[in-house]
Amino acid sequence: MAKKNRQGLDANLIAQNKKARHDYAITETFEAGLVLTGTEIKSVRARRVTLKDGYAQFYGGELWLMNVHIAEFAGGNIFNHDPLRNRKLLLHKKELKKLQSELTAKGVTLVPLKMYLKHGYAKVLLGLACGKHEYDKRNAIKKREQDRQIERVMKHY
């Protein structure tokens, strides 16, 4: 079980892509390991990661995490890593086959939702996502506001 701090936040959480749940309808999630270099894991532990524009894609039969920014390590030297390099994702073969068949459908993509540490290893929570239309986003915002109002009213009773 993950440790929680006073605010109830996950202590092992490195980065979160809050915009992904707004822009996409997430149908299924997968936990994947990351292949990182030494300076990358140090930057990850320092929470210098941006998942905002990231996505996962198959290339050569392997799943790769693209366009995720892991900042250069401040204490690094000339052998520091490239911040936007593609990183290999580690999943079971059965999960890879399932994902590859799911991604053949039009409008389906694989987006990173969270990055966290689990037993000292960096993990990424990937979501199988379909894009939302503008009216779906507005409906979600309207429903969230109504739920907040109901909670405020029920709090007084």
Is position 150 within any domain? no
Q: Residue 136 to residues 9, 27, 131, 143: CA-CA distances in angstroms?
A: 28, 15, 10, 11
Question: Tens digit of pLDDT per residue, the chain (157 long)?
Answer: 455 554 444 668 888 888 878 778 888 888 999 998 888 888 888 888 888 888 888 988 888 999 988 888 877 777 777 778 888 999 999 988 888 888 887 888 889 999 998 888 889 999 888 777 666 678 778 888 888 888 888 887 7
154 token code pair: 């029920």
The model's pTM: 0.76
Q: Taking the alpha carbons of 60, 107, 139, 153 in that order, is the dihedral positive or negative?
A: negative
CATH number of the domain to which 114 belongs: 2.40.280.10
Number of domains in the chain: 1
Is position 124 within any domain? yes
111 token code pair: 């987006």
Is position 139 within any domain? no
Q: Name the residue range of residue 94's domain.
A: 13-132
